[in-house]
């Protein structure tokens, strides 16, 4: 029988893609060499080429220079989320750092260069740790212009208009409160102007400039529960509807007069394209998820980072004249002898007449089967049909363990009301949805209701520990990866630029301390009886190791069977491939030992 590592993809990817100006080469961040390095692969096919060989850093966001001769990227060290900026030519031996000053959170713009390649745009909190400014660097003169955001707003730059007149940026107050800002680059004293404020307090996330600089495309929830695509026209200062669906528009890109967008239909990405007013017919794609998207004019080609439940994330290409084709092959050996399982979408009832969407991975062997209740992070994320946790789901299914992955209160993809249910209410409706999930599983004849384990990472780790501590169910085991145990500490330890995000979504640690304490797993640690596996990054900038230490000590004092693994060179999650594989291999062994 294949072991866990037989299900591990040959490499993983960061959710970033860059298509060269001549549309012949794709740049991406992959960890085939052990760390997330910068790679390129030809759109026409061929062997990928590795451009960097980083030792303790991870490439995050990538962009081509307009002349196509070099790339820029951001990288942090051992997961510390302190990003520095680098540039590397296609024939250089190694990258050259182009950022200056102390460590901070530098964020490359979506399209960081102007048309001529002289100016580079990024954001940084170097001036004030709690404020993320936008900086425009003149690469010829080595000078910078700094644009400060309004109070309580975090700037994320999108890019300079093709005519060089305007800088577009998103202004974030929370994940659901985003505005579009314009900065006039012809006026050195110009202040950022919010161009969406007249439409109310909502979601107006700018995406990409039109090729003729007449305006920009954005995603907005102005017209309903779901996110639509819109166009802001500079001359009229009005928002025009581009496309509306009964699901969220997730990606938008433009090249020339070609517009491409994808829609998240119950977790699966559906791709659409138009050239001018004409609809482009695209080749069919397998059911899966687009994690990143880049296009050339006339959609020749469209390049995607594409993930499915039965094949790991890959770089793929398609255009109207050709079939969908993969440019990389990360398939593990187990998929040559084991038929991976497609998840079954289900809907189960919750409180107040609500319903919760979930995915079920069922073994093909006779049941009833033990089950892992797997909780996504975020909390504003979504469980989608992907090859998740480096093959862990498919490995568990091959061993006869089902996986149940719900999109509980707080998840995205099912309307803004569902997303906002847990704002300042963590461990409330979300935990109630998980209680209903446990009841739903106990009533399923194909599931052994006495053998249910729970697992999650980040917010999902908090939710998993909350299940173990606060729900009256006889859990078989629990796993927490970087899961917060003390919400007061989490609110205080989060990156300083997140202060307003945290106050909106989680709560203010000074004024909401009593509620945050009441909802923290550490408060109920003495109620946990199931075996627990806790995994923690020593350098985690969001969930301090000291809190995990304290939580584990409390459990051990009361005789709970606890395994505790600390990764000295990791932060909030994994950047070192061997660490990630060792962690999931040991999680698989832990779950199998308690469920089988």
pLDDT-derived band at 322, boundaries 50, 70, 90:
confident
Mean pLDDT of all residues in 262-277: 94
**Alpha helices (H) along 189-258:** none
446, containing H or E segment: none
Residues contacting residue 223 through CB under 8 Å, at least 6 positions apart: 241, 244
Which tokens hold the place of 17? 């893609």
- Among 459-463, 475-479, 536-540, name the one with the lowest average pLDDT: 536-540
Cα 7 from Cα 10, distance rounded (Å): 9
What pLDDT sits at residue 76?
87
Cβ atoms of 164 and 213 closer than 8 Å: no
Please give the pLDDT value at position 502: 83
- What average pLDDT does this structure show over 270-299? 92
Closest CA to 328 of 315, 342, 310, 340: 315
CA angle, 321 then 328 then 1, to 5°: 125
Phi, psi of 294 (to 5 degrees): -150, 145
**Residues 291-304 pLDDT 10s:** 999 999 888 899 99
The answer on pLDDT for 418 being more than 90 is yes
Over the stretch 521-575, which tens digit does the pLDDT of each residue have? 999 999 999 999 999 999 888 888 999 999 999 999 999 999 999 999 888 888 8
381-395, 442-456, 488-502, 525-539: the lowest-pLDDT one: 488-502
Tens digits of per-residue pLDDT, 497-509? 777 788 888 888 8
Q: How far apart are CA 565 and CA 545, in angstroms?
A: 11
pLDDT in tens, 17-45: 999 999 999 999 999 988 899 999 999 98
3-state secondary structure 367-390: CCEEEEEEECCCCCCCCCCCCCHH
- Pairwise CA distance, residues 531 & 476, whole Å: 7
In a 10 Å sphere around its CB, with 0-12 CB exposed, 13-18 middle and 19+ buried, how is residue 5 labelled? middle
**pLDDT of 395:** 97
Per-residue three-class SS string for 304-341: EEEECCCCCCEEEEEECCEEEEECCCCCCHHHHCCCCC
Determine the pLDDT at residue 550: 94
CATH of domain 341-595: 3.40.50.1820
Beta bridge partners of 481: 457, 535
Q: At 525, give phi and psi (nearest 5°).
A: -55, -35
> For residues 360 and 406, is the Cβ–Cβ distance under 8 A?
no
pLDDT value at residue 508: 87
For 139-187, write each residue's pLDDT tens digit.
Answer: 988 889 999 999 889 899 999 999 999 999 999 888 788 999 999 999 8
Residue 101 pLDDT exceeds 90: no
Least confident span in 227-231, 375-379, 539-543: 539-543
Summarize the confidence of residues 410-432 as an average pLDDT: 94
| Candidate from 121-130, 388-397, 444-453, 491-500 with smallest mean pLDDT | 491-500
The C-alpha atoms of residue 158 and residue 376 are separated, in whole angstroms, by: 28
> Which tokens belong to 238?
């009005």
* pLDDT, mean of residues 491-519: 86
Cite the beta strand spans of 353-465 per DSSP E.
Answer: 355-361, 369-375, 402-406, 447-457
Residue 230 has pLDDT above 90, yes or no: yes
Q: Quick one: average pLDDT of 423-433?
A: 95
CB atoms within 10 A of CB 88: 17
Mean pLDDT of 57-75: 94
CA 250 to CA 245: how far, in whole Å? Answer: 11
Question: Band of the pLDDT at 448, cuts 50, 70, 90?
Answer: very high
Whether the model clears a pTM of 0.75, i.e. scores above it, the answer is yes
Question: For the residues 307-336, what does the mean pLDDT come to?
Answer: 93
Rounded to the nearest integer, the mean pLDDT of the chain is 93
260 phi, psi to nearest 5 deg? -125, 140
CA distance 358 to 491: 29
Give domain limits for the chain: 341-595
- pLDDT at 320 (0 to 100): 87
Q: 211 to each of 119, 217, 369, 513, how far by Cα in Å?
A: 18, 11, 54, 49
Q: How far is CA 123 from CA 169, 183, 317, in A?
A: 10, 14, 31
């Amino acid at each position: 029988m294949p072991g866990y590592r037989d299900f591990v993809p040959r490499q993983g990817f960061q959710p970033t893609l860059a298509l060269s100006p001549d549309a012949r080469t794709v740049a991406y961040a992959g960890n085939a060499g052990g760390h997330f390095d910068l790679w390129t692969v030809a759109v026409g096919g061929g062997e990928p080429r590795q451009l960097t060989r980083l030792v303790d850093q991870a490439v995050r966001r990538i962009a081509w220079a307009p002349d196509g001769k070099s790339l820029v990227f951001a990288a942090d060290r051992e997961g510390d989320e302190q990003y520095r900026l680098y540039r590397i030519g296609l024939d250089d031996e190694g990258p050259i750092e182009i950022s200056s000053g102390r460590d901070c959170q530098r964020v490359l713009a979506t399209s960081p260069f102007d048309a001529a390649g002289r100016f580079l745009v990024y954001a940084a909190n170097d001036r004030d740790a709690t404020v993320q400014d936008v900086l425009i660097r003149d690469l010829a003169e080595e000078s910078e212009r700094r644009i400060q955001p309004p109070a309580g707003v975090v700037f994320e730059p999108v890019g300079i208009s093709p005519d060089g007149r305007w800088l577009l940026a998103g202004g974030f107050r929370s994940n659901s409160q985003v505005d579009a800002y314009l900065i006039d680059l012809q006026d050195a004293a110009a202040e950022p102007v919010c161009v969406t404020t007249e439409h109310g307090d909502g979601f107006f996330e700018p995406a990409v400039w039109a090729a003729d600089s007449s305006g920009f495309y954005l995603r907005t929830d102005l017209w309903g529960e779901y996110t639509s695509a819109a166009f802001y026209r500079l001359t009229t200062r009005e928002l025009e509807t581009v496309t509306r669906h009964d699901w969220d528009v997730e990606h938008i890109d433009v090249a020339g007069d070609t517009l491409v967008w994808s829609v998240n239909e119950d977790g699966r990405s559906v791709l659409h394209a138009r050239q001018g007013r004409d609809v482009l017919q695209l080749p069919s794609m397998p059911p899966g998820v687009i994690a990143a998207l880049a296009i050339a004019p006339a959609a020749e080609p469209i390049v995607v980072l594409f993930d499915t439940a039965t094949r790991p994330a890959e770089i793929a290409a398609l255009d109207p004249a050709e079939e969908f084709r993969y440019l990389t092959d990360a398939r593990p050996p187990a998929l040559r002898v084991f038929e991976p399982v497609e998840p079954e979408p289900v809907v189960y009832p919750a409180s107040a007449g609500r319903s919760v969407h979930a995915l079920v991975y069922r073994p093909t062997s006779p049941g009833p089967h033990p089950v892992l209740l797997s909780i996504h992070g975020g909390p504003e994320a979504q469980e989608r049909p992907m090859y998740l946790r480096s093959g862990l789901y498919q490995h568990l299914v091959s061993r006869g363990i089902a996986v149940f992955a719900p999109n509980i209160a707080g998840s995205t993809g099912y309307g803004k009301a569902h997303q906002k249910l847990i704002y300042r209410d963590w461990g409330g409706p979300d935990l109630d949805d998980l209680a209903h999930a446990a009841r739903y599983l106990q009533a399923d004849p194909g599931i052994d209701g006495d053998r249910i384990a729970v697992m999650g990472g980040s917010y999902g780790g908090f939710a998993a520990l909350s299940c173990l501590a606060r729900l009256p169910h006889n859990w078989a085991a629990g796993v927490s990866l970087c899961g917060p145990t003390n919400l007061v500490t989490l609110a205080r330890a989060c990156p300083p630029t997140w202060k307003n995000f945290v106050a909106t979504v989680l709560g203010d640690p000074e004024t909401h301390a009593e509620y945050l304490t009441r909802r923290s797993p550490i408060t109920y640690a003495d109620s946990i009886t199931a075996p627990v596996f806790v995994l923690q990054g020593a350098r985690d900038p969001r969930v301090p190791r000291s809190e995990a230490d304290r939580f584990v000590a409390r459990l051990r004092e009361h005789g709970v069977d606890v395994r505790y693994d600390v990764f000295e060179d990791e932060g909030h999650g994994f950047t070192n491939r061997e660490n990630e594989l060792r962690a999931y291999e040991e999680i698989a062994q832990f779950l199998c030992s308690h469920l089988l």
